[in-house]
């Protein structure tokens, strides 16, 4: 397994450097500070992929907020999406709260749609969505994100929270796996 991971890492294409991604996160934070500064939101970190983006955003946000986690996964260790499996629901009551769901990537959009619907069912008063990456696809998505860091072509990506078979989430850049489109 580790040989495969090293091979994927070595042959991957760097699409966005660490500097570019950090700038994109700065820009997202500026927008979120403007839009949600007086809303006392709860940030929901969409685990596991949303971990890096949530952490990087958090210290750039300059207003009162609380944080919790949510996890509905549909890829697990595959590079094609399947059925949504709920792994974690937030402990924080969402009723009458403003919610900001933070994830690494909006790909086909089914994961974010499921997270959004869950927050609606819990009675959130308003729900915003933030993703580091919005993948450009030919087909329409069931949901769009309110805050987007970067738009990226259709490859299987890793880095900044995004994994390849559970690994490479810690890569400090946005990489495309070779021959993944």
Ligand X SMILES: Nc1nc2[nH]cnc2c(=O)[nH]1
With b for 16 or more beta-carbon neighbours within 10 A and e for fewer, the 127-146 pattern comes to bbbbbbbbbeeeeebebebb
- Binding to ligand X (CB under 6 A): which residues in 107-126? 107
> What sections of 37-178 are H helices per DSSP?
51-58, 110-121
Residue 102 touching ligand X (CB under 6 A)? no
Q: How far apart are CA 159 and CA 94, in angstroms?
A: 30
Residue 81 touching ligand PRP (CB under 6 A)? yes
Measuring CA to CA, which residue among 46, 175, 67 is closest to residue 109? 46
Q: Which of 23, 27, 37, 75 binds ligand X (CB under 6 A)?
A: 75
Residue 156 touching ligand X (CB under 6 A)? yes
- Binding to ligand PRP (CB under 6 A): which residues in 147-166? 163
Which region, judged by CB under 6 A, interacts with ligand PRP, from 55-63, 74-82, 116-124, 145-153?
A: 74-82
**Is the Cβ–Cβ distance between 39 and 100 less than 8 Å?**
no
Q: How far apart are CA 144 and CA 104, in angstroms?
A: 14
Residue 110 touching ligand PRP (CB under 6 A)? yes
Residue 157 touching ligand X (CB under 6 A)? yes
Number of residues that bind ligand PRP (CB under 6 A): 18
Q: Which of 37, 58, 74, 173 binds ligand PRP (CB under 6 A)?
A: 74
Q: Which of 48, 53, 54, 98 binds ligand PRP (CB under 6 A)?
A: 48
Chosen from ligand X, ligand PRP, none, partner binding at 157 (C-beta under 5 to 8 Å by type) = ligand X
Dihedral of CA atoms 141, 79, 22, 111 in degrees, nearest 10, equals 40
Tell me how crowded residue 65 is: count the other CB atoms within 10 A of its CB.
Answer: 17
Give the binding site for ligand PRP (CB under 6 A). 46, 48-49, 73-75, 81, 103-112, 163
């Amino acid at each position: 397994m580790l040989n495969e991971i090293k091979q994927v890492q070595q042959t991957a294409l760097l699409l966005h450097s660490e500097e570019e991604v950090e700038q994109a996160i700065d820009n997202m934070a500026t927008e979120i500070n403007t839009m949600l500064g007086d809303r006392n939101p709860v940030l929901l970190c969409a685990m596991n992929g949303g971990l890096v983006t949530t952490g990087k955003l958090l210290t750039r946000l300059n207003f009162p907020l609380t944080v919790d986690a949510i996890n509905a996964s549909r890829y697990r260790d595959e590079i094609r999406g399947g059925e949504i499996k709920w792994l974690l629901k937030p402990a924080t009551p969402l009723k009458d709260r403003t919610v900001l769901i933070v994830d690494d990537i909006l790909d086909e959009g089914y994961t974010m749609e499921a997270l959004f619907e869950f927050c609606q069912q819990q009675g959130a008063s308003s729900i915003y969505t933030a993703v580091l990456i919005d993948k450009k696809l030919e087909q329409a998505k069931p949901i769009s994100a309110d805050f987007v860091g970067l738009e990226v072509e259709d490859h299987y990506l890793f880095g900044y929270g995004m994994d390849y078979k559970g690994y490479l989430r810690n890569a400090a850049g946005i990489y495309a796996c070779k021959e993944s489109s």
